[in-house]
Amino acid sequence: MREAGTLLVEFLENQKVERVYCVPGESYLSVMNGLQETSIDTILCKHEGAAAIMAEADGKLTGRPGIAFVTRGPGATNAAAGVHIAQQDSTPMILFVGQIGREMYGRDAFQEVDYQQFFGGMAKLVVEVQQADRLPEIVSRAYHTAMSGRPGPVVIALPENMLTEKTDKKPTGYLQQTLSAPSTKDLAQFIQEIKEAKKPILVLGGSVWSDEAEKDLISISEMLGLTILTSHRRQSFFNNFHKNYGGDLGLGVNPKIVNRINDSDYIVLLGARLSENPSQGFSLFGIPDHNKKIVHIHPGPEEIGRIYNPHLGITANPIEFVNVLNNALKGLNTKPLESIASDTLEAHDDYINWGDMPLEAPNSGVDLTSAFRTLREKLEPDTIITNGAGNYAVWGHRLFRFSKVKTQLAPISGSMGYGLPAAIAAKLRFPDQMVIALAGDGCFQMTENELATAVQYNAGVIIFVIDNEMYGTIRMHQHKNYKGKYKHTGLVNPNFADLATAMGGRGYRVENTEDFYQTFVQATEWANENDLPVLLHIKTGSEMVLPGKRFSSL
């Protein structure tokens, strides 16, 4: 017999959980006690929102639920940002919330929250464990729910006095993900139709992807001469240097990609939902009816037809689908039509030119275009790049190129503050890889306190704080809608380099383009020698709103 809190830790060990992210609280002391003698690393974060973001990022990197623990009331509500990201990004994640004692329910007790009401619109499942003996059953259900269909977050409330109950229940063994595969009929129809298409395009999205799946899709694209686009902030799903890669369908999109979508006679959405940003504000196709042949392949049947009526809907896990399709096409000895192969090569040339075309530079400060182009030629292919939300991120999406899976971590939910916590999770998961977090000055200040977490756990991440002294995206919309009225978006910022040093890392200030790369090299050498975070405070001036575009030109 042992406490339910210890049983929960044993369950997580059986799922091969390597680390959990948390802010400690008295409501789950039994779990904290169980974590004392365990193989699981416990990462103490400074804010529950960041703990949940780290768990979400870990879910993206592993395909298994990332795990976070927070306490009741304000701890849980603080963590909601990470749950929302996991929901919009389709990421497997489990948030465990300490709960008040069962005998206090309904009295508006200290820090009492109805978690079903609070998280019900965000999480795939919100459940409370009332009896210690049912803990294995409910957590097993949570794992299956988080990984099945369209992946997403699960919230489990753990009453404080339930966790201290003694139980002799055994923890569940390792739980495998259930992968749905296409039917023989659907696969045959798809193969026949895509081989007959004149200008087919595949848009790749979702959250869980793998090296093996990328290899399968590369093989498929070569056999069919298929243009591959990645959805918003999913650029590392397909080698950007491959001849069949045509770019990303997201914010700041290349207009030639939109033209190709309009000209295509057969559009395949693989794992993608084509939500607001990749659909350019739901403007690419009519809703629900349109004049396109759209094939929607998605693990969640509820997503097929949710927005667009598909010509063909296939419920299948994207990884399983490309594996089955690749094997089938190899058996048919498929070769692309010359016209299709030529169009695909042209799409790749357009992508390369879009990232290399001359762009107007700012009058002062660091020219991000020049700096990032210099940097991308020097980075190792396995460098992981993270970012939160803001116009600064468009420079990263347009100028960096990804050749390995799981080297981009970015929220399609548009959540500010994501970059630093995600970078810490990535560095702890892959300590031998360089991890760079991109953040705007407003974005960084959402989670800057997690610098202390990076120091505490020797996460030598590289942080770029891109400082234009404003909430740039909101200023852009002010300019478009209320030109000349810019109150409430200006920022008075600290010296971020001094802040990083004060918190135990190291900070460097970069005020001109010529110093950028040399400072980066110096910073990374220090980070590698000390296993500690470094921050580059990059001053950019305030006139550029997007790559090559000034506010005055909007």
pLDDT tens by residue, 88-135: 999 999 999 998 766 667 666 666 788 989 899 999 999 999 999 999
Q: How far is Cα of residue 449 from the mean position of the Cα atoms in its chain? A: 21
CA–CA separation, 68 vs 49, rounded Å?
10
Sheet holding 245-249, edge to edge: 245-249, 227-231, 200-204, 266-270, 294-298, 312-315
pLDDT tens by residue, 197-245: 999 999 999 989 999 999 999 999 999 999 999 999 999 999 999 999 9
How many other C-beta atoms lie within 10 A of the C-beta of residue 189?
Answer: 16
Q: How confident is the model at residue 441 (pLDDT cuts 50, 70, 90)?
A: very high
pLDDT tens by residue, 296-326: 999 999 999 999 999 999 999 999 999 999 9
CA–CA separation, 478 vs 481, rounded Å?
5
Question: Looking at the predicted structure, is the pLDDT value of residue 448 above 90?
Answer: yes
pLDDT at position 106 is 65
- 359-553: CATH superfamily: Thiamin diphosphate (ThDP)-binding fold, Pyr/PP domains (3.40.50.970)
How many other C-beta atoms lie within 10 A of the C-beta of residue 108?
Answer: 9
Its pTM surpasses 0.85: yes
Query: Could you tell me if residue 359 is left (phi over 0), alpha (psi between -120 and 50 degrees) or otherwise beta?
Result: beta
On average, the pLDDT of the chain sits at: 94
By mean pLDDT, which of 169-183, 404-418, 420-434, 540-554 is the weakest? 540-554
The length of the chain is 554
CB 345 within 8 A of CB 239: no
Over pLDDT 90: what percentage of the chain? 84
Query: Residue 202 corresponds to which amino acid?
Result: L
Tell me the CATH architecture of domain 2-167.
3-Layer(aba) Sandwich (3.40)
Same fold, 2-167 and 184-355: yes
More confident residue, 544 or 339: 544
Closest CA to 206 of 397, 59, 347: 59
Q: How confident is the model at residue 439 (pLDDT cuts 50, 70, 90)?
A: very high
Q: How confident is the model at residue 339 (pLDDT cuts 50, 70, 90)?
A: low
Strand partners, 128: 157
Question: Residue 482: CB partners within 8 Å, gap ≥ 6?
Answer: none
- 184-355: CATH superfamily: TPP-binding domain (3.40.50.1220)
pLDDT at position 463 is 98
**Rounded to the nearest 5°, which phi and psi values hold at 270?**
-105, 105
pLDDT at position 240 is 98
CA–CA separation, 295 vs 310, rounded Å?
6
DSSP string of 123-171, one letter each residue: -SEEEE--SGGGHHHHHHHHHHHHHSSS--EEEEEEEHHHHTSEE-PPP
Q: Show me where the domains of the chain are located.
A: 2-167, 184-355, 359-553
